[in-house]
Homo-oligomer: A and B are copies of this chain.
Amino acid sequence: MIFGGGMEKAHDVLIRNLCEHTALAPEEIAEIRSLTFTQRDFAPNENFVHQGDEPEHSALVVSGMVARYHLLGSGRRQYLAFHLSGDLPDSQSLFIDQMDHGLSALGQASVAFIPHRELFAAFRRRPNFALAVWRETLLDASIFREAITNNSARPMPARMAHLFCELFYRARAAQLVRSNRCRLPISLAQLGETLGMAIATVNRTLADLRQSGTMDLRDSELIVLKWRELQRLGDFTPAYLHLKRQSPPRL
């Protein structure tokens, strides 16, 4: 556990993220800044919330990526969503006692924990902050819906392209894209457990996408070379992300 050092960053990324869709008044921002976080670093693929847990803290991604996943009766793992800095990957634990899924770090990740008790107190004092977090959970839901559609209705190449489009677009909104690159520390196996395809197919499909010259994935980094073309391949329409201030990437 690390208290103190680098803690301002946690408040900043949360405020940045909430401001993406909600106008926050100065006193609401002050309220957020007064929250006490407990920050921890996790190794790649380290699990820090398990299916069945009943957490008393909510997690906030400070840096790196966090994944949510289901474990099936068969032992199979299904990734449900990926979270970037500023996201609250288990805000639902505020109201739903038992976790129906787990959380893990995707690459190296830094996560801040906020006691539910404190969040509830802040909600009471600043209802608008509660509404912003509520909205945030609704955006999650809209990303889940798109994942249902992606994994059920789109052919494999489009499915993979769509995932890359979404992650790139969101990374961009979180200011994590520099010269058309963003971190994406995901293995082929995990890509398969996300998109519902066998690892061999993941590899071949990814090879095709690379071949198309629209993107590349190297050294845990996603590189977008032809945005419009990749977007077309993935049937990607960013409306469901409900980002107001975002302009589409050039290229």
Contacts and interface: CB of A to CB of B under 8 A. Distances in A.
Interface of A: 52, 68, 70, 72-74, 76, 78, 80-81, 92, 95-98, 100-101, 124, 127, 130-131, 134-135, 137-142, 144-149, 151-154, 193, 195-196, 235, 237, 239-240, 242
Contacts of A139: 96
Contacts of A235: 72-74
Given A144-B145, A195-B152, A98 B134 contact: no
Contacts of A142: 92, 96, 100
B138 A95 contact: yes
Contact of A135 (B96, B101, B196): B96
Among A73, A95, A137, chain B packs the most CB atoms within 10 A around the CB of A95
A147 B12 CA distance: 34
Contacts of A240: 100
Contact of A144 (B135, B148, B195): B148
Given A70-B149, A137-B141, A147-B148, 8 more contacts: A78-B149, A95-B134, A96-B138, A98-B242, A101-B145, A130-B130, A134-B137, A148-B148
Contacts of A130: 130
A193 B149 CA distance: 10
Given A145-B100, A196-B152, A135 B78 contact: no
Contacts of A239: 52, 98, 100
Contacts of A151: 148, 151-152, 196
Contacts of A52: 239
A141 B146 CA distance: 12
Contacts of A140: 141
22 contacts: A70-B149, A74-B235, A78-B152, A92-B141, A96-B135, A96-B138, A96-B142, A96-B242, A98-B242, A100-B146, A100-B242, A101-B145, A137-B138, A137-B141, A141-B141, A144-B144, A144-B148, A147-B148, A148-B148, A151-B151, A151-B152, A151-B196
B195 A138 contact: no
